Amino acid sequence: MRVLVTGDSMIKYVSHLLKERLNNRCEIDLMSFPGIRIEEFMRRLASISLTSYDIVLIHVGTNNSEEYVDAVVRKFVCLFDTIFRLSPTIKVLISGVIPRGPNRFRDDEFGENDTSYLFQNRKIETINSELRRLSLSRRYSFFMRNPEDWEGCLGRDGLHLSYRGNEGLANDFATQVRTDLKHVTSHPLACHPWSLV
């Protein structure tokens, strides 16, 4: 079983943690593109051999979260269409956009007055709700942890993950991959019709 974990910089430190948690149950490749937006990620997909993977787990959208919600959701829909056009049988897992915290690098008493992230988090919550809703009609699995569970998992910039956050994200990824590995291995013909040849 081959799994591709790909997306923005939020995933760049989860590779070894994820491999430890999955105990070599599958081959995992990780491709992280720091700063990438959904539309740029979509263009990169053409250079990735998606057909060589059974499962792709995507974490992207962090760098689009300041845009209008409708625009972000439309970009995700185009992303899903692109993935299934490139690899119609691949199992797609989408990780929800992670909420933000206050920026502690600001000069105003360590960011204590920074409340801009609260508005951002309301938008992120709406984006994640839309992704969950869309997953019911499109062929992908959406997953995310409760937003309150991210408390203490963000770095001082309020955006990137701390070590604890990376561990939490790796745990979430491993749980979802394990669940989908069971489905893929119990229904191999549904995922790989060419295995009949």
**Average pLDDT of the chain?**
87
The pLDDT tens digits for 46-68 are 999 999 999 999 999 999 999 99
**Please, which pLDDT band fits residue 25 given cuts at 50, 70 and 90?**
confident
Q: What are the residues facing 143 on neighbouring strands?
A: 95
What pLDDT does 48 receive? 95
- Average the pLDDT over 16-44 and give the result: 93
Rounded CA-CA distance 73/92 in Å is 16
* In the predicted structure, residue 138 carries a pLDDT above the cut 90: no
DSSP structure string for the chain: -EEEEEESGGGTT-HHHHHHHHTTSSEEEEEE-TT--HHHHHHHGGGS-GGG-SEEEEE--GGGTTS-HHHHHHHHHHHHHHHHHH-TT-EEEEEPPPPP---TTSTTTTTTT--HHHHHHHHHHHHHHHHHHHHTTSSEEEE---GGGGTT-B-TTSSSB-HHHHHHHHHHHHHHHHHHHHHHHHSHHHH-GGGG-
What pLDDT does 83 receive? 96
- Average the pLDDT over 6-17 and give the result: 94
pTM: 0.86
Structure-token pair, residue 90: 């691949």
How far apart are the two ends of the chain, measured CA to CA in Å?
18
> Measured in whole angstroms, how far is the alpha carbon of residue 182 from the centre of its chain?
20
What pLDDT does 134 receive? 93
- Among the ranges given (39-43, 73-77, 83-87, 151-155), the one the predictor scored with the smallest mean pLDDT: 151-155
**Please, which pLDDT band fits residue 109 given cuts at 50, 70 and 90?**
low
* In the predicted structure, residue 184 carries a pLDDT above the cut 80: no
Structure-token pair, residue 19: 């491999």
What pLDDT does 192 receive? 34
Question: Which of residues 77 and 190 earns the better pLDDT score?
Answer: 77
